[in-house]
Amino acid sequence: QKEVEQNSGPLSVPEGAIASLNCTYSDRGSQSFFWYRQYSGKSPELIMSIYSNGDKEDGRFTAQLNKASQYVSLLIRDSQPSDSATYLCAVNIFHGGSEKLVFGKGMKLTVNP
């Protein structure tokens, strides 16, 4: 199993719909979870962080974490064309005595007007 997995996508939703992005991870000891957004040709930018089970809401974005099932998701409500980007899930993974942040390959989201 890969350390951090995201559905390969791409995902296409109409404007105003809810976009749901999912991510699973392999390390049960992981404590920190992040969602980054990356526009084409740009650098990743942090949009959400979550550290405990449950939901965390920030405007139109909601991150959901379930440590028992080892998945983290991102919901985008009232999707806008400006949300069209690649979304990267990142999880801290313990590796041979040290830990590092491991990124999924990303899910490309297109919001159609």
Query: Which position among 21, 104, 109, 111 is part of the footprint of other proteins (CB under 8 A)?
Result: 104
DSSP state of 105: -
Give me the phi and psi of 29, to 5 degrees please: -85, 0
Q: How far is the CB of 45 from other proteins (least distance, A)?
A: 7
Q: Given the complex with other proteins, which of 79 and 87 has the nearer CB atom? A: 87
Which three-class secondary structure string do you get for 13-76? Answer: EECCCCEEEEEEECCCCCCCEEEEEECCCCCCEEEEEECCCEEEEECCEEEEEECCCCEEEEEE
Q: How far is the CB of 75 from other proteins (least distance, A)?
A: 19
Is 77 an interacting residue with respect to other proteins (CB under 8 A)? no
Query: Which position among 31, 53, 66, 80 is part of the footprint of other proteins (CB under 8 A)?
Result: 31
Is 42 an interacting residue with respect to other proteins (CB under 8 A)? yes
Both structure tokens of 5: 């997995």
Is 108 an interacting residue with respect to other proteins (CB under 8 A)? no
Strand duo 45-50 + 85-95: pairing: unpaired
Q: Given the complex with other proteins, which of 15 and 45 has the nearer CB atom? A: 45
Q: Which residues bind other proteins (CB under 8 A)?
A: 31-32, 34, 42-46, 49, 51, 88, 92, 95-96, 98-106
